Structure 1
Amino acid sequence: MADGETALLLARIQFAFTVSFHFIFPAFSIGLASYLAVLEGLWLKTRDDTYLRLFKYWIKIFAVAFAMGVVSGIVMSYQFGTNWSVFSDRAGPIIGPLMAYEVLTAFFLEAGFLGVMLFGMDKVGKKLHFFATLMVAAGTAASAFWILSVNSWMQTPTGHEVNEVGQYVLAGSWLDVIFNPSFPYRLVHTVIAAYLTTALVVGAVGAWHLLKGHDRPGVKRMFSMAMWMMAIVAPIQILAGDQHGLNTLEHQPMKVAAMEGHFESFESHAPLILFGIPDSEEETVHYKVQIPDLGSLILRHDVNLGLEGLDTVAREDRPPVGIVFWAFRIMVGLGFLMAGLGLLGLFMRWRGKFYSSRLLHRFALLMGPAGFVAVIAGWVVTEVGRQPWVIYNVMRTEDAVSAIGVPGVTGSLIAFVIVYFSVFSVGTWYILKLMSHPPSAGDVEPQGPIRSAGITPAAIEEKAWERGEDE
């Protein structure tokens, strides 16, 4: 492998490594910010202090996750200048304004109200604090909107033209750029994935404490809310994923061909390959297990319609099939397991064993990290499936890289690996430590006669818990 090809590979590995670390934190904080808004809203509506305890419990975890997301995201912007300067120069007139919009909307909302949300509950009015929480949740959603618009434009570029110096510039309306063909599907699919990721974490924490015998009202409430989320939203995500897949088939058929392992085209009755070992050299899938006709039925909704295979493009224009093939199956498999967890929760509610079923609690605990794995697998499908293009059918990845040497990119990659694993391991450890303690009534400050009498909510709840009382 030539030095240029090695430097390109290392630059791609470096960006993949840093963005993978970064992606898991926004996927969690987007959902957790909305969850905090729901908890505070329910507390204001019902005056049930259980919701307030959960709010104060999860806001500490949100603060740490949010901080790690911001830190890990800053690094990626530098790589656009160091490793991908050609891409930055040519695509900057389109990418730059969209990233600026993200700062002007999402970042300002988050930065403006985050301090009030984290530290202002006892310093501002309840309604104002709730408004701050809503604005932080809106800010995280707005951030996802703009970032996904940028990424979607790279997947399905529209609304641009090439100027006299080879840059991609606006041609017409910004709405054509922002609302490119894949953006609505990608936005819905990704935001729902963030909500499911958060629900799985909340459910796993609740399950952990239930397995430990900490069946306090706060623990039971968080577990119940998470399982309702899984039961309702996981099936919606499957439907959203189906629509996203149909859109991808229309605009990026080779990505779908790699996802399905279809090296050859089918005029009709395309099978669905469940498992196998893709071999790009021999252009086949070894040991494949497949279901006849199901590929056409799922992707074209008609068994008599065919599918394009990888044989319709030159080898140099094909994505790496093995990576895309297996990442897609990991994502889909975990999606169905999430739906299964939701159904099991509903079944145990019906049986009256929701809070006593160790099978349900162990399943929920095991599925705790599944959301993170699924979003990373989905990102791999999206980005690796786009190769060899950095801007689909417009700019190749090999043409976007800076004139960098192997020693430079190797050194920075090693530094990133060491620093990221050191810093984020500590952050993750601290989050897990916070999660290891159940929500406490001591998080809610006593007021008035209760405070003067020395009777605390923590003591009241502790006595109720010891007597076996619950919600």
Structure 2
Amino acid sequence: MDALLLSRIQFGFVISFHILFPAFTIGLASWLAFVEGQWLRTRDTVWRDLYFFWTKVFAVSFGMGVVSGIVMSFQFGTNWAVLSEQAGNILGPLLSYEVLTAFFLEATFLGVMLFGWGRVSEKLHFLSTCMVALGTLISTFWIISANSWMQTPQGYTLVDGVFHPADWSAIIFNPSFPYRLAHMVLAAFITTCFVIGGTAAAYLYRGVHREAARRMLRMAVLFAAITVPVQIFVGDLHGLNVGEHQPVKLAAMEAHWESEGPGKGVPLVLFAVPNEDEERNDYEVAIPRVGSLILTHSWDGEIAPLTAVPASERPPVKPVFYAFRVMVGLGMLMLLLVLASLWAWWRKRLYDTRWLLAGWRAMTLSGFVAILAGWYVVEIGRQPWVIHGLLRTADAVSPVAAAAVLTSLIVYAIAYAIVFGAGSWYLFKLLRKGPVPHEPPLSQEGGEKTPMRPLSVPDEPIDDGGAPGTPGRQEDAR
């Protein structure tokens, strides 16, 4: 447990928390823009109630994402000072562009979105919601660009160990950037989609908020029916790109140790226990040649095995291998659930098929798990490099004592448990209560209108959220 390992654990711990909330708010902001647009188009109060309900969820999630992002940025100067010193000329401007173009845009219009209902025109309020949604996408653009450059660096010059920008267009639009951007944005949308669909299924399962739940589930099924297949297609293109630019990562994803020989292709390993000491797989279950078809789009295609490079140049195989299968497995489950939902919808049984509603409830948080698994594949898979092929992770860490890193890690863990534990509990409370008829009042204080309170705590205790069969909760159904 030296400073390097502790610094890697700390960064992984912090980013694992951070990525969940921005990913959720990326999709949720676009969902809010859609819902408010439906309200303006139809004047149906159900859409308005859904907007206020999900606005509360968005505000809390956005706040926790900002807090965790600030903590993460500190580590570049504390734990990874050498990386900041050598690559700061490129990473610094990219992260600054994110603040200047996205964060300022979000911060400007977020206040109008949260507190401006009834104080500004309806069109301006809708514009503010759309601008917040646009801001989340712009933020994703710059963050993924910076991370992608570390995966597939280009457009730089290296002088005395320091990276200098030579071509900003090549830096921003590096070879892996388009695939990773599309993959991440779709993952964020799908994550939000399954939270909305799972929440709707829970309400229908309990028999509350029926009309609102029907609309949420219907929209979730429609959106997932489009995005999940597209994500599978984009993931395939992303895999081809990884094979071209980071072949060792691809070999670790497949636990591919040795070439099968000319013309024999690559097997698809369904399950195995990678044995890194013996450079082989134990208990392997594989399908011959199918790996070639998926990874190279050729029946006889080959990929470079792990043994093609020294052990010091390989990433840890087990976490990459298993995380990749978790991500792909959840994607396949999502696709099956969507197909079953479309079939039930065609038979007019979407809202009352109990096993289907149970499936959506079980998959509510599946997007978050898939995102974490995907990021573990990306970040662990590029080891031992922090900037692929150019700067090793071991050479990028700050010269600090292991005790100092361990102390900060413990403090982070305690603080995160308190802050994000409370935030998650509040989100659960909001989701448990659900959307209620809401006509935001405009009170008079000093003769002027006061803004709405979008983050007010629900009045009812969480235990009154309405368990199945609980009397007195059916009045929430419409």
Same fold (TM over 0.5): yes
**Which of 254, 262, 273 is the equivalent residue of 2:269?**
273
Q: Percent identity?
A: 53
Partner residue in 2 for 1:31:
27
Provide closer, same or farther for how the CA distance between residues 63 and 469 of structure 1 changes in structure 2, counting only shifts above 3 A: closer
Larger mean CA deviation between 258-267 and 310-319 belongs to 258-267
Q: Please state whether the residue corresponding to 1:354 is helix, strand or coil.
A: coil
Provide closer, same or farther for how the CA distance between residues 208 and 469 of structure 1 changes in structure 2, counting only shifts above 3 A: closer
Q: Does 1:177 align with 2:193?
A: no
**Which of 338, 346, 349 is the equivalent residue of 2:345?**
349
Tell me how far apart the structure 2 counterparts of residues 166 and 388 of structure 1 sit (CA, whole Å): 18
Provide closer, same or farther for how the CA distance between residues 468 and 184 of structure 1 changes in structure 2, counting only shifts above 3 A: closer
Q: Residues 8-407 of structure 1: matches in 2 within 5 Å?
A: 8-163=4-159, 165-171=160-166, 173-266=167-260, 267-268=262-263, 269-407=265-403
Q: Please state whether the residue corresponding to 1:387 is helix, strand or coil.
A: coil
Contact 1:294-1:303 within 8 A present in 2 as well: yes
TM-score of the aligned structures, taking structure 2 as reference length: 0.91
Contact 1:230-1:341 within 8 A present in 2 as well: no
Contact 1:160-1:177 within 8 A present in 2 as well: yes
Superposition deviation, residue 308 in structure 1: 0.6
Superposition deviation, residue 445 in structure 1: 6.1
Superposition deviation, residue 424 in structure 1: 0.2
Tell me how far apart the structure 2 counterparts of residues 99 and 125 of structure 1 sit (CA, whole Å): 34
Instruction: Give unpaired runs (5+ residues) of structure 1.
Output: 447-464
Superposition deviation, residue 214 in structure 1: 1.1
Contact 1:320-1:385 within 8 A present in 2 as well: yes
Partner residue in 1 for 2:433:
437
Instruction: Give unpaired runs (5+ residues) of structure 2.
Output: 443-472
Q: Please state whether the residue corresponding to 2:266 is helix, strand or coil.
A: coil
Q: Please state whether the residue corresponding to 2:269 is helix, strand or coil.
A: strand
TM-score of the aligned structures, taking structure 1 as reference length: 0.93
Tell me which amino acid in the other structure corresponds to 1:329: R
Larger mean CA deviation between 378-387 and 334-343 belongs to 334-343
Tell me which amino acid in the other structure corresponds to 1:368: T
Q: Please state whether the residue corresponding to 1:274 is helix, strand or coil.
A: strand
Superposition deviation, residue 438 in structure 1: 2.6
Contact 2:209-2:435 within 8 A present in 1 as well: no
Tell me how far apart the structure 2 counterparts of residues 335 and 168 of structure 1 sit (CA, whole Å): 38
Tell me which amino acid in the other structure corresponds to 2:203: H
Q: Please state whether the residue corresponding to 2:128 is helix, strand or coil.
A: helix
Tell me how far apart the structure 1 counterparts of residues 436 and 251 of structure 2 sit (CA, whole Å): 51
Tell me how far apart the structure 2 counterparts of residues 281 and 141 of structure 1 sit (CA, whole Å): 43
Contact 1:265-1:310 within 8 A present in 2 as well: no
Superposition deviation, residue 44 in structure 1: 1.2
Tell me how far apart the structure 1 counterparts of residues 282 and 324 of structure 2 sit (CA, whole Å): 17
Larger mean CA deviation between 265-274 and 293-302 belongs to 265-274
Tell me how far apart the structure 2 counterparts of residues 80 and 178 of structure 1 sit (CA, whole Å): 20
Tell me how far apart the structure 1 counterparts of residues 41 and 138 of structure 2 sit (CA, whole Å): 26
CA deviation string 1:118-148 (max 9, x = no partner)? 0101100000001100110000001100000
Tell me how far apart the structure 2 counterparts of residues 186 and 230 of structure 1 sit (CA, whole Å): 19
Q: How many residues align?
A: 446
Superposition deviation, residue 466 in structure 1: 7.0
CA deviation string 1:227-284 (max 9, x = no partner)? 2122221111111101100111100000000000101134441100010100110001
Superposition deviation, residue 444 in structure 1: 5.9
Q: Please state whether the residue corresponding to 2:301 is helix, strand or coil.
A: coil
Provide closer, same or farther for how the CA distance between residues 468 and 137 of structure 1 changes in structure 2, counting only shifts above 3 A: closer
Contact 1:155-1:392 within 8 A present in 2 as well: yes
Tell me how far apart the structure 2 counterparts of residues 468 and 153 of structure 1 sit (CA, whole Å): 50
Partner residue in 2 for 1:459:
none
Q: Please state whether the residue corresponding to 2:2 is helix, strand or coil.
A: helix
CA deviation string 1:278-330 (max 9, x = no partner)? 01100011001000000111111111221110111110000000000000000
State the Cα RMSD in Å.
Answer: 1.6
Partner residue in 2 for 1:408:
404
Tell me which amino acid in the other structure corresponds to 2:249: K
CA deviation string 1:5-32 (max 9, x = no partner)? 7110000000000000001001100000
Structure 1 runs of 4+ aligned residues shifted over 3 Å read: 443-446, 465-470
Provide closer, same or farther for how the CA distance between residues 469 and 415 of structure 1 changes in structure 2, counting only shifts above 3 A: closer
Contact 2:209-2:477 within 8 A present in 1 as well: no
Tell me how far apart the structure 1 counterparts of residues 363 and 248 of structure 2 sit (CA, whole Å): 32
Tell me how far apart the structure 1 counterparts of residues 435 and 477 of structure 2 sit (CA, whole Å): 16
Tell me how far apart the structure 1 counterparts of residues 70 and 398 of structure 2 sit (CA, whole Å): 19
